Structure 1
Amino acid sequence: MRGYDRINPMLPDELILEIFNHLDSKSSRDACSIVCKRWLGLERLSRETIRIGASGSPDALVKLMARRFVNVRNVFIDERLSMSVPVEIGRRRHADQSALSSLGLHFLTEKSGPEDGETESYCLSDAGLCAVGDGFTKLEKLSLIWCSNVTSFGLSSVAEKCRSLKSLDLQGCYVGDQGLAAVGECCKQLEDLNLRFCEGLTDRGLVELALGCGKALKLLGVAACAKITDVSLESVGCYCSSLETLSLDSEFIHNKGVLAVAKGCPLLKILKLQCINVTDDALHAVGIFCLSLELLSLYSFQRFTDKSLCAIGKGCKKLKNLTLSDCYFLSDKGLEAVALGCSELTHLEVNGCHNIGTFGLESIGRSCKHLSELALLYCQKIGNFALSEVGKGCKYLQALQLVDCSSIGDDAICSIARGCRNLKKLHIRRCYEVGNKGIIAVGENCKFLTDLSLRFCDRVGDEALVAIGQGCSLHRLNVSGCHQIGDAGMIAIARGSPRLKFLDVSVLQYLGDIAMAALGEGCPLLRDVVLSHCRRISDVGLANIAKKCALLETCHMVYCPNITSAGVATVITSCANIKKVLVEKWKVSQRTKRRAGSVISYLCVDL
């Protein structure tokens, strides 16, 4: 019978709530909420997470959300994301409902430009933060990103009313010691604390927090806090015995602080350090006391030597992930010690460590049989034989990244291809000795490859892409700057990779409309396309992509002389899901701008 409700009388509230809890997207929840008043109310009860852009009356918006969603446990407020409220909240009886309807709960809308800035914008204040505390009493996770107007008063209010808080992110907030002390006093379950760029904090605030809730704290991040010194870390080492993750980026931390953490936090699993005044002594202590360490990242250390890595290799047998970035005094000896001692290593990144060469990486290939990801960036001394050993010993390797490794060529890539047949991701940039031979070997042997990037590898041409197209089904492809690639190679990709979603073919001078037609026919799932600096692609080729790739979301096409305003208009009118078009300003007609001005970005003006 028309108009008869066959669902609601049969389903209890509990079952509908359970269904809502299994929905994996916000759009699905929003769709359910407009079915009927009952479903709207139940969906509001089931909502646990909200995200708000902290501009355009955010305080009023927080109060509105608190009234609507009483069971929210996770609140994310980000001042970097703007939001315009179309209705002045509170002006008339149903203003809050109108605002909510107009927003569609999609808070993270982006303003199109200064010309649309009539709506008053301001930052989240203590009043809004107090509303968070009043409205979301079940709060467990609060993230305030660059909310620079909130102070200790607002944070104290949240701490006093949200005593179940487990995670607090204050990145870029200028809160003071009193607020942090209140968190320590009231939030005894706090496990996760991020204090990156909190310039208003001193040792006093972090010490009091450690005293108050240090027993529960498991994760701590500190960066660019000039007044937080070794005194704070000594308190962390004394009171935070359950700490598992520590991230430090500071010029004011010395050995004393890191030593205190190493000795007092035996459960430490993740350690990330960018502290120029920390030396071998601190890392030696980590090797002795932190036997559960699984991830170690060292950035920009000019005082660490092989002594540090030898201590890590000797003591941290559970280490699985190691990043060494711009550590100039580390050499093959240190990397060999890690290879021999940390046989469970699965992820290794060596970035700009100019004294690490072929021998060190050979040791990794011989000893670390479980290696699954390897990244070598700006490693001029690492040659082909190193990757040959990796190819022989690391059969589980799934991701390889090479950037500016001038001594690595086709022989190394062939060894990887033949030995690491589970490879899924291969990124190579500006490795000028890599050409068709190596990439053909990849196509013939690595059947699981889905992500391939060959940026500015100018010896790679169509022959290589034909082999890839015949042997692999790619999801992502970036061949920008590989100027020998033309239509033949891209046609092979179109035929062999029907699930391709991302494509960057910028700066390919020989690529034309024939390839675009093949991509349109063969790759209907394309979402992101970069065509910039392609001189032979015209409106005709662009239309093939726009009309046949219905899921297209972004298209970059600057410096394409044969693409005109008509081509831009075709993309706008044909792609219902388009979110960003990057193009020269003069190629956008007034009609196109009126129709979709919010999705158009301009790299160059008046060219």
Structure 2
Amino acid sequence: MNLKHTKLKEYQYAKVNKLVSFIPTTETKTIPIVNRQSTELPKPKPASSLSLFHHNMKGHDFINSMLPDELILEIFRNLDSKSTRDACSLVCRRWLTLERFSRDTIRIGASGSPDALVHLLARRFPNVTNVYIDERLSVSLPVDFGRRRNASHSSLSWLRLHFVSERSEAGASESDSYCISDAGLTAVADGFSNLEKLSLIWCSNATSAGLRSVAEKCRFLKSLDLQGCYVGDQGLVAIGKCCKQLEVLNLRFCEGLTDNGLVELALGCGKTLKWLGVAACAKITDISLEAVGSHCSSLETLSLDSEFVQNKGVLAVAKGCSLLRNLSLQCINVTDEALTAVGVFCSSLESLALFSFQRFTDKSLCAIGKGCKKLKSLMLSDCYFLSDKGLEAVAAGCSELAHLEVNGCHNIGTYGLESIGRSCTRLKELALLYCQKVGDEALSEIGKGCKYLEALHLVDCSIIGDDAIYSIATGCRNLKRLHIRRCYEVGSKGIIAVGNNCKYLTDLSIRFCDRVGDEALVAIGQGCPFLRHLNVSGCHQIGDNGIIAIARGCPQLSYLDVSVLQNLRDMALAEVGEGCPLLKDIVLSHCRRLSDVGLDHLVKRCKLLESCHMVYCPGITSAGVATVISSCTNMKKVLIEKAKVSERTQRRAGSVISYLCVDL
């Protein structure tokens, strides 16, 4: 046995030995295993992971001889990642079998012959209850290598042969061969009879016939996601008749459905349905929502995006679903009448999101403020006829508000936000996007009244400046995330205040803020030791001194974007390499003074790097690109011009290299 395999065994036993000490012991038979001092067993000396390994090597399998199947299964359930589970399953055949029995979730992307793949997975993992199939994701077939893989060689070979014969016999197109069909859904139904959650994302070949198989054989189904599937009414009717425990249903972009299918489903399992999402379904109208309002009294969440739903449908839901807690609406034909009903009848509402409404006025928000006292989250996007009056009503009535986003509502200004600051003292997150009428006084009031604010997002707020950021920094000392983009009145003064007062800051983004200079980042580096995410893209006054201060003061930094910094040089990159060993993602694009020398210093210490963007950096050559590729074994994406990638680098790491198209 070679040294590498020996180290792997030591690691596997160490993980299990550590977990055993934390497993609760509720049955008598497991007590001797955890409590080594029990009188029922000899009292061995405390065993390290290495000694356990030596026991195994001598023919005395200490763990396997003492741990029952139930406890090993519990250990697998407590492992923190799939890679760890996979590693531990390689210890022996027994552990491999038990790990397969313990697995409850599988995820499948676009793969050759997915129907055959489902057959194979169903045999290997019989206790799976959650199946996620997303054909937007590209996943390759497994590859055989090494001795451990030989055991499954026959199954994988059968899968490949089946894939080839299926294409040659049926004459399937290349795109169809990567889409699960009704046969695959039948395999899901046959193989996972205890299925509780099924997601079919953009599975274009699935039809009502396959969905009917699932409905008939998976009676415990609780969650069904059909986003982008062209299934018909018959499949949905079958789900309603057979799956009486269904709680979650996502019908976004299901163009083949009509009112008939959703009405029948509401009749069949309306008593248990709690979550419903409908978007871009042209044939689903008020008739469906009336059925939902009549039969789905337990509905808690409704997400509705439709040009065909009008007041009648939303009124029915508001009156019939009094337990509604989360409501998201993007319906251009719905008016104040419907939203007023929500305020009157839905007193349990906690989250409200309104998108692109041009027929709502302050009357609607006044009703929400008056009736929805439990409201905690409010999102207003492109609602042009809402003003400060409506926001003031929400502030007065919804004192528990914790999340507020105002995006492109041009009639909401300083006064409305001041009302929020005075009344909503529990506010934790505030986002103001394209709010040209909101001034410094609004954020000054937020700083005075909202002491628990943790996140602030500002985009294109042209009259917000340093005084506003200073007020937030001095009043909201628990601030963890600050994102500012194209707020040209914000300068170093405000960011220095953040560094001096917000020591828990973990995420700072100040993109294209021309007045922010090195002195601001010096304050951040000295006062924010827990910073993990920094984006200073386009801040032209920032140079070496600012980035060096970050490198020396923020050792936990994992993401850094310094693109379009014309004054940044290799010295700063070398300091980042020395001070930020946990760095995973870096963006260096359009930094004209960086060269291969700086890259070399960076990758010597930053061994965890997973992505690096460095387009339009004239000082970086193919040699620098090769250095990054060869030094960072965890690299997943390198964005670079094609001319800077040598043939050798392309052969070694073509799968992780992305090219910027410059030939157009």
TM-score w.r.t. the length of structure 1 is: 0.95
Q: Do residues 407 (structure 1) and 463 (structure 2) align?
A: yes
**Other-structure match for 1:204:** 260
Of 584, 588, 594, 1:531 maps to 588
Matched to 1:529, the amino acid is I
Q: Which residue number corresponds to residue 376 of structure 1? A: 432
In the TM superposition, residue 118 of structure 1 has moved relative to its aligned partner by: 9.4
The answer on 1:567 being equivalent to 2:624 is yes
- Partner residue of 1:578? 635
- Letter in structure 2 aligned against 1:261: V
Out of 628, 631, 656, the residue aligned to residue 599 of structure 1 is 656
Alpha-carbon distance between aligned partners in 2 of 1:304 and 1:376, rounded to the nearest angstrom: 20
Counterpart position of 1:266: 322
CA distance in 1, matches of 2:389, 2:95: 64
* 2:630 is aligned with 1:588: no
5 Å matches for 1:236-315?
A: 236-315=292-371
Tell me by how many angstroms 1:97 deviates. 3.9
Q: 1:347 to 1:94 in 2, by over 3 A?
A: closer
SS at match of 2:332: coil
8 Å contact kept, 1:586–1:605 = no
Larger Rg: 2
Counterpart Cα distance in 2 of 1:121 and 1:518? 50
Question: How many Å separate the matches in 2 of 1:44 and 1:101?
Answer: 19
Mapped to 2, the partners of 1:461 and 1:100 lie a distance apart of 62
Structure 2 alignment gaps of length 5 or more: 1-54, 145-149, 161-172
Partner of 1:11 in structure 2? 67
Bigger drift between 117-126 and 181-190 goes to 117-126
Counterpart for residue 113 of structure 1: none
2:492 to 433, 436, 457: 436
Q: What secondary structure does 2:567 align onto?
A: coil
What is aligned with 2:503?
447
Structure 1 residue corresponding to 2:182, chosen from 126, 141, 163: 126
Identity %: 79
Structure 1: any 5+ residue segments left out of the alignment? Answer: 103-116
**Residues 119 and 172 of structure 1, relative CA distance in 2, 3 Å threshold:** closer
Q: C-alpha separation between the residues in 2 aligned to 1:504 and 1:221?
A: 36
Q: Could you say if the C-alpha distance between residues 154 and 52 of structure 1 is closer, same or farther in structure 2, counting changes exceeding 3 Å?
A: same
Q: Are the equivalent residues in 2 in contact too, given 1:331–1:360 (CA < 8 A)?
A: yes
1: distance between equivalents of 2:440 and 2:611?
38
Q: Which of 534, 541, 562 is equivalent to 1:477?
A: 534
- Name 1:348's counterpart in structure 2: 404
Q: Quick one: structure 1 residues 62 and 408, their matched pair in 2 at CA, closer, same or farther if it must change by over 3 Å?
A: same
Summarize the Cα distance change of 1:397–1:99 in structure 2 as closer, same or farther, 3 Å threshold: farther
Q: 1:532 to 1:493 in 2, by over 3 A?
A: same
Question: Which residue is equivalent to 1:171?
Answer: 227
1:141-198 CA distance string (max 9 Å, x none)? 0000000100000000011100100000000000000000100100000000000000
Return the match for 2:193 from 124, 128, 137: 137
**Against the structure 1 CA distance between its residues 118 and 145, is the aligned structure 2 distance closer, same or farther, given a 3 Å change threshold?**
closer
Counterpart CA distance in 2 for 1:605 and 1:597 is 18
Corresponding position of 2:140: 84
Determine the C-alpha separation between the residues in 1 that align with 2:569 and 2:407: 37
Partners of 2:175 and 2:632 in 1: how far apart? Answer: 30
Q: Does 1:217 align with 2:251?
A: no
**Residue deviations 1:578-599 (CA, integer Å, cap 9, x gap):** 0010110111111111111101
Distance 1:119 1:28 in 2: 34
Q: Could you say what secondary structure the match of 1:80 adopts?
A: strand
| Shift in alpha-carbon separation, 1:154–1:405, aligned structure 2, 3 A | same
Q: Does 1:520 align with 2:615?
A: no
The answer on 1:457 being equivalent to 2:513 is: yes
Q: How does 1:538-553 map to 2 (within 5 A)?
A: 538-553=595-610
Give the secondary-structure state (helix, strand or coil) at the position aligned to 2:338: helix
Following TM superposition, by how much is the alpha carbon of 1:121 offset from its aligned partner in structure 2, in angstroms? 4.1
In structure 2, distance between residues paired with 1:19 and 1:402: 45
SS at match of 1:545: helix
The alpha-carbon deviation at position 208 of structure 1 amounts to 0.4
For 2:457 and 2:663, locate their aligned partners in 1 and report how far apart those are by CA, in whole Å. Answer: 38
Deviation at 1:553, TM superposition (A): 0.4
1:490 aligned to 534, 537, 547, which one?
A: 547
Counterpart code for 1:540:
V
> 1-side partners of 2:342 and 2:104: how far apart?
39
User: What residue in structure 1 maps to residue 558 of structure 2?
Assistant: 501
How far has the Cα of 1:87 moved from its partner?
7.2
Partners of 2:353 and 2:248 in 1: how far apart? 19
Cα distance in 2 between the residues matched to 1:15 and 1:6 = 14
Q: TM-score, normalised by structure 2?
A: 0.87
Q: Deviations over 1:539-567 (max 9, x none)?
A: 11112222211111000111111111111
- Which of structure 1's runs of 4+ aligned residues deviate more than 3 A? 92-102, 117-121
Check whether the contact 1:64–1:96 (CA below 8 A) recurs between aligned residues: no
2:556 match: secondary structure = coil
Q: Is the 8 A contact 1:85 1:119 kept in 2?
A: no
Q: Distance in 2 between matches of 1:87 and 1:366?
A: 61
The CA deviation string for residues 70-99 of structure 1, in whole angstroms up to 9 with x for no partner, is: 0000000011112232679xxx99645446
In structure 1, distance between residues paired with 2:358 and 2:289: 22
SS of the counterpart of 1:7?
Answer: helix
| SS of residue in 1 equivalent to 2:65 | coil
Question: For 1:180, which of 228, 233, 236 is the aligned residue?
Answer: 236
Pair 1:54-2:88 in alignment? no
Q: Provide the C-alpha distance between the structure 2 equivalents of 1:96 and 1:136, rounded to a whole number of angstroms.
A: 23
In the superposition, relative to structure 1, how do residues 311 and 257 fare at CA in structure 2: closer, same or farther (>3 Å)? same
Q: Equivalences for 1:37-48 in 2 at 5 Å?
A: 37-48=93-104
Conserved 8 A contact 2:117-2:159: no
Query: Deviation of residue 56 (structure 1)?
Result: 1.2
Question: Closer, same or farther in 2 for the Cα pair 1:100/1:293, shift >3 Å?
Answer: farther
Deviations 1:381-418 (A, max 9, x none): 00000000000000000000000000100000001111
Structure 1 pair 238–408 and aligned structure 2 pair: CA distance change class (3 A): same
Distance 1:172 1:370, change over 3 A: same
**Could you tell me which amino acid in structure 1 is paired with residue 305 of structure 2?**
D
The answer on whether the counterparts of 2:204 and 2:228 sit within 8 Å (CA) in structure 1 is: yes
**Which residue identity does 2:642 align to in structure 1?**
K
Higher helix share: 2
Partners of 1:342 and 1:85 in 2: CA distance:
53
Deviates more, 1:329-338 or 1:76-85: 76-85
Provide the alpha-carbon RMSD of the alignment: 1.8
Query: What is the deviation of 1:32?
Result: 1.3
Secondary structure of residue in 2 paired with 1:551 = coil
Question: What residue number does 2:45 align with?
Answer: none
Partner of 2:443: 387
Supply the distance in 1 between the matched residues of 2:175 and 2:475 (Cα, whole angstroms): 60
SS of residue in 2 equivalent to 1:84? coil
SS in 1 for 2:352: strand
